[in-house]
């Protein structure tokens, strides 16, 4: 079988697919009848409580003295500390924050100066991959999707680990720190292999520099001349900090808990979470935002004309424009209501970067769309909790200004979020919970077996 026939959907496959569609439809009324929380959410959209964690907390509402709950400006806490305070702290001292946040998430407290220096040295020493790994694994068959390429590489790293199946805490900590350090290499090298194989051009592979931060190493590895400005590295570092963790209930982190509870190895757990994060409803959302804005730019002539912007956004909302899903991507969040604190923090730095890159006109378009879309969605959908821009609304614009290729947008998310996954995996192992096994109710009626001759 050649490569073309391997991926061809033949008429027999289409017939079988039709049978799948026919036999797997479940009436919506049954979900209400049996009080099934679809997507593990109640009727108000709140997540069903499935576990306990000390790693992070999302706050989107507050309780009044009479006991009623009302929406409030969003807050994100890492180990009980307001993320905005953490950011102000390392920004004031002009140091990079992602490594400090990783230490906080995994080890439960902020490091002092000595602890942070030792931790950075440890991560720098781990920031390498086995000899010939790039040639034999990454370059051998470059994937069009970098998240899948990273997943394959992580599974192959299992083969290089003599203690791959050891799930004792010291060994899992060692594996986690190695993977946190290796993720930038796996992402950038996989992209460079893909580009060389499918786009053409020269292939320039830089060695990582252990003395550089994670953000600096990403830019150093990716750019042919390895050059970047301090502000570019600072903004990318901020993006990593804001994406490092987001509560135990997000899809990929919940996946970490589910898979870890089975007792499997670290590499399998991380690959499972990568598969979850790849989805356009999760980590791939910022790509949809970028593509939506490309479409808006093509159809809106005056980016400062709020009426023209509103008219086109209304078409998107009514499934008449862009991808006709009725979604204005980057607006709204499953948990946050009045505001997403990550978007609020990001926005000020986005404006500064837009000035540096001479793209302030685009920034104004983003700001206009954010304001107008919130009003349109609130009026159209009558959302009780309010709607606001989420972090994905601005992150894609930031990555484009940093000259990061679209193929790396979700992998950058993974480079950040593996810190949170690692913390949650260790928490799940330490608390030795039961294997996570939610219940599903069968609603298919029982029927009698029919012999082959009578079918």
Cα gap 118→62, rounded to integer Å: 40
Q: Judge if 90-279+411-431 and 285-401 fold alike in CATH terms.
A: no
pLDDT at 384: 55
**Average pLDDT score over residue span 371-385:** 80
Q: Which of 392, 403, 424, 454 is catalytic?
A: 392
Whether 263 and 436 have beta carbons less than 8 Å apart is answered as no
Note the CATH number of domain 90-279+411-431. 1.10.580.10
pLDDT at 61: 83
Q: What is the pLDDT of residues 79-133, one digit of tens each?
A: 999 999 999 999 999 999 999 999 999 999 999 999 999 999 999 999 999 989 9
Locate 363 and state its tokens: 């920034």
Whether 391 and 343 have beta carbons less than 8 Å apart is answered as yes
Q: Is position 424 annotated as part of the catalytic site?
A: no
pLDDT at 1: 58
Cα gap 404→379, rounded to integer Å: 36
**Average pLDDT score over residue span 137-151:** 94
Cα gap 297→290, rounded to integer Å: 11
pLDDT at 68: 81
Q: What is the pLDDT of residues 13-58, one digit of tens each?
A: 999 999 998 988 999 899 889 888 887 777 666 778 889 999 999 9
Locate 18 and state its tokens: 């039709």
Locate 198 and state its tokens: 């499918």
Q: Is position 243 annotated as part of the catalytic site?
A: no
Q: Which of 220, 333, 340, 424 is catalytic?
A: 333
Cα gap 123→254, rounded to integer Å: 26
- The contacts found for 348-357 with CB under 8 angstroms, 24 or more apart, are 349/234, 349/235, 349/238, 349/398, 350/235, 350/394, 350/397, 350/398, 352/231, 352/235, 353/231, 353/232, 353/235, 353/398, 353/401, 353/402, 354/401, 356/229, 356/231, 357/401
Cα gap 30→243, rounded to integer Å: 37
Pairing outcome for strands 81-82 and 56-63: unpaired
Q: Which of 154, 416, 113, 373 is nearest to 259 (CA)?
A: 154
Measured at the CA of 135, the angle between CA 130 and CA 136, to 5 degrees, comes to: 75
Cα gap 364→133, rounded to integer Å: 44
Cα gap 181→122, rounded to integer Å: 9
Cα gap 91→83, rounded to integer Å: 12
Poorest-confidence range of 201-205, 252-256, 383-387?
383-387
- Domain limits, the chain: 90-279+411-431, 285-401
**pTM attached to this predicted model:** 0.92
Q: What is the pLDDT of residues 288-317, one digit of tens each?
A: 999 999 999 999 999 999 999 999 999 999
Q: What is the pLDDT of residues 216-271, one digit of tens each?
A: 999 999 999 999 999 999 999 999 999 999 987 899 999 999 999 999 999 999 99
Write a three-state SS string for 339-392.
CCHHHHHHHHHHHHHHHHCCCHHHHHHHHHHHHHHHHHHHHHHCCCCCCCECHH
Report the CATH architecture of 285-401: Orthogonal Bundle (1.10)
Asked whether the predicted pLDDT for residue 435 surpasses 90, the reply is: yes
């Amino acid at each position: 079988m050649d490569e073309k026939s391997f991926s061809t959907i033949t008429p027999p496959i289409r017939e079988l697919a039709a049978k799948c569609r026919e036999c797997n439809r479940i009436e919506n009324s049954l979900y209400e009848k049996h009080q099934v929380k679809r997507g593990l959410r109640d009727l108000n959209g709140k997540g069903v409580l499935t576990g306990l964690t000390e790693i992070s907390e999302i706050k989107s509402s507050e309780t009044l003295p009479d006991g009623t709950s009302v929406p409030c400006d969003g807050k994100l806490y890492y180990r009980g500390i307001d993320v905005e305070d953490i950011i102000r702290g390392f920004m004031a001292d002009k140091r990079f924050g992602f490594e400090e946040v990783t230490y906080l998430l995994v080890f439960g407290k902020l490091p002092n100066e000595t602890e942070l220096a030792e931790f950075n040295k440890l991560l720098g020493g781990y920031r390498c991959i086995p000899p010939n790994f790039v040639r034999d694994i990454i370059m051998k068959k470059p994937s069009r999707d970098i998240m899948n390429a990273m997943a394959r590489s992580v599974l192959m790293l299992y083969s290089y680990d003599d203690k791959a199946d050891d799930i004792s805490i010291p060994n899992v900590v060692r594996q986690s720190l190695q993977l946190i350090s290796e993720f930038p290499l796996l992402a950038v090298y996989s992209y460079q292999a893909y580009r060389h194989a499918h786009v053409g051009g020269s292939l320039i592979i830089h060695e990582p520099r252990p003395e550089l931060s994670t953000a600096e190493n990403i830019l150093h590895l990716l750019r042919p001349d390895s050059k970047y400005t301090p502000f570019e590295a600072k903004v990318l570092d901020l993006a990593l900090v804001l994406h490092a963790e987001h509560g135990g209930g997000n899809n990929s982190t919940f996946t970490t808990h589910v898979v870890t509870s089975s007792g499997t190895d670290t590499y399998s757990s991380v690959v499972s979470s990568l598969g979850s994060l790849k989805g356009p409803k999760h980590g791939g959302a910022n790509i949809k935002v970028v593509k939506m804005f490309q479409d808006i730019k093509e159809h809106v002539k005056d980016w400062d004309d709020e009426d023209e912007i509103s008219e086109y956004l209304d078409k998107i909302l009514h499934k008449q424009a862009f991808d006709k899903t009725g979604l204005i991507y980057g607006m709204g969040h499953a948990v946050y209501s009045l505001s997403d604190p990550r978007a609020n923090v990001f926005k000020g730095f986005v404006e500064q970067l837009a000035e540096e890159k001479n793209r302030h006109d685009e920034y104004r378009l983003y700001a206009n769309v954010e304001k107008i879309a919130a009003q349109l969605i609130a009026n159209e959908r009558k959302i009780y909790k309010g709607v606001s821009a989420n972090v994905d609304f601005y992150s894609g614009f930031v990555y484009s200004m940093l000259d990061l290729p679209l193929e790396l947008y979700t992998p950058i998310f993974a480079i950040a979020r593996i810190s949170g996954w690692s913390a949650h995996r260790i928490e799940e192992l330490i608390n030795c919970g039961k294997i996570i096994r939610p219940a599903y109710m069968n609603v298919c009626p029982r029927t009698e077996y029919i012999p082959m001759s009578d079918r």
